[in-house]
């Protein structure tokens, strides 16, 4: 099933961040978080998205995989790293896009819970291969995610959706001492399922 996150993707990065903070403040003043700490581990997986390179766009054969570790304190605030790799082919070129993100979140509820989260890209690497190889270590962008938790064996099962938009570039290659740079950056917009287990403490 195609998931349409065009509304999210059309919101500039800074506005998405303030939207998340506003939602957290609203929820935190409306509901009391239970005194439960949680250590969560997630698997991220998805095949929905869009890769854009200049005027070239593909929405086919996009595979994203990753993992996340998230610590949630008893007051509901949480944070942790998330790593994702997206692979696809565009114009007969193989693209590999890897990002390391820092996530922050707010959780309400006890054994049954609801979580809103925001992620920010901190590091990454992009590779384009087709005979020549162009690389970049520059990535910027962010993500929003929404999770639901239910009781399961001394903790919880947690699942939900994550929508992210990352820009990789500029891309460069060095050959015989000569450096060549691509004019356009790569924009990676993807949707992932997040499924994990949380240990209560």
Q: Quick one: average pLDDT of 103-114? A: 94
Domains plus CATH for the chain?
A: 6-200 (2.40.160.20)
Predicted model pTM = 0.83
Residue of 162, 158, 160 whose CA lies nearest to 40: 158
Q: Is residue 89 within a helix (H) or strand (E), and if so which, with residue range?
A: strand 77-90
Residues 106 and 195: beta-carbon distance below 8 Å: no
Q: Quick one: average pLDDT of 161-167? A: 96
Q: What is the pLDDT of residues 17-48, one digit of tens each?
A: 666 666 665 655 555 456 789 999 999 999 99
- Residue 170 preceded by cis peptide, ω within 30: yes
pLDDT on residue 92? 86
Which of 11-20, 131-140, 142-151 has the lowest average pLDDT?
11-20
Q: What is the pLDDT of residues 180-199, one digit of tens each?
A: 999 899 999 999 999 999 99
- For residues 54 and 47, what is the distance between their CA atoms, to the nearest angstrom? 22
């Amino acid at each position: 099933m195609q998931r349409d996150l065009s509304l999210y993707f059309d919101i500039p990065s800074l506005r998405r961040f303030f939207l998340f903070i506003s939602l957290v403040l609203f929820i935190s003043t409306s509901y009391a978080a239970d005194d439960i700490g949680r250590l969560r581990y997630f698997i991220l997986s998805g095949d929905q998205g869009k890769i854009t390179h200049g005027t070239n766009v593909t929405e086919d054969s996009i595979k994203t995989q990753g993992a996340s570790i998230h610590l949630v304190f008893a007051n509901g605030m949480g944070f942790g790293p998330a790593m994702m790799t997206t692979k696809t082919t565009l114009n007969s070129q193989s693209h590999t896009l890897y990002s390391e993100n820092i996530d922050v979140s707010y959780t309400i509820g006890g054994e049954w819970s609801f979580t809103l989260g925001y992620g920010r890209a901190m590091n990454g690497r992009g590779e384009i291969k087709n005979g020549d190889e162009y690389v970049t270590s520059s990535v910027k962008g962010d993500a929003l995610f929404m999770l639901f938790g239910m009781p399961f064996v001394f903790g919880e099962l947690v699942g939900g959706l994550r929508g992210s938009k990352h820009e990789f570039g500029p891309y460069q290659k060095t050959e015989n001492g000569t450096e060549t740079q691509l004019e356009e950056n790569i924009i990676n917009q993807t949707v992932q399922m997040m499924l994990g287990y949380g240990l209560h403490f």
